[in-house]
């Protein structure tokens, strides 16, 4: 990935500015604000949060990219880093929650649709 962007963990429960930037990005992506997340990653263009993704146990969720950056392949970068984090935590079987209209993006990254009743 281009060195013009940097990734780092966002401590949602400790970093008020980080939480507010994350919340704003989630709202702009029409995603629910999740209260129980174990790990959240942010990708920044300078100080601007441009992409994010989170983990809750073995579930990847809350993946969002600013509209102006959607051609930058940031979803792939987020997923790769979150899977690495899951592996470090001992999770080798994991799931991804997404909106139906974003399903194609995640299928292209190797995820398969599952159904729960």
| Ordered domains of the chain (ranges, CATH) | 6-107 (3.40.630.30)
- The total of other beta-carbon atoms located within 10 Å of residue 8's CB is 11
Report the alpha-carbon distance of residue 45 to residue 34 in Å, rounded.
Answer: 24
User: Measured between alpha carbons, how far is 72 from 69 in angstroms, rounded to an integer?
Assistant: 6
Q: Is 91 exposed, middle or buried (0-12, 13-18, 19+ CB in 10 A)?
A: middle
pLDDT (tens digit per residue) in 11-43:
999 999 999 999 999 999 988 888 889 999 999
CA neighbours within 13 Å on the CB side: how many for 86?
22
Q: Quick one: pLDDT at residue 68?
A: 93
CA-based angle 6:102:34, to the nearest 5? 65
What pLDDT does residue 15 have? Answer: 95
Which stretches in the chain have pLDDT values below 50?
A: 1
Distance CA 112, CA 17 (A): 35
Position 32 scores a pLDDT of: 87
């Amino acid at each position: 990935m281009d060195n013009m962007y940097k990734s780092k963990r966002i401590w949602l429960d400790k970093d008020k500015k980080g939480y507010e930037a994350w919340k704003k990005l989630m709202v702009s992506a029409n995603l629910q604000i999740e209260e129980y997340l174990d790990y959240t990653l942010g990708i920044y263009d300078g100080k601007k949060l441009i992409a994010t993704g989170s983990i809750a146990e073995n579930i990847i969720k809350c993946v969002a990219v600013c509209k102006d950056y959607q051609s930058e392949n940031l979803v792939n970068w987020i997923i790769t880093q979150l899977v690495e984090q899951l592996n470090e935590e001992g999770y080798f079987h994991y799931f991804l929650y997404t909106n139906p209209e974003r399903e194609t993006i995640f299928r292209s990254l190797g995820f398969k649709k599952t159904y729960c009743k």
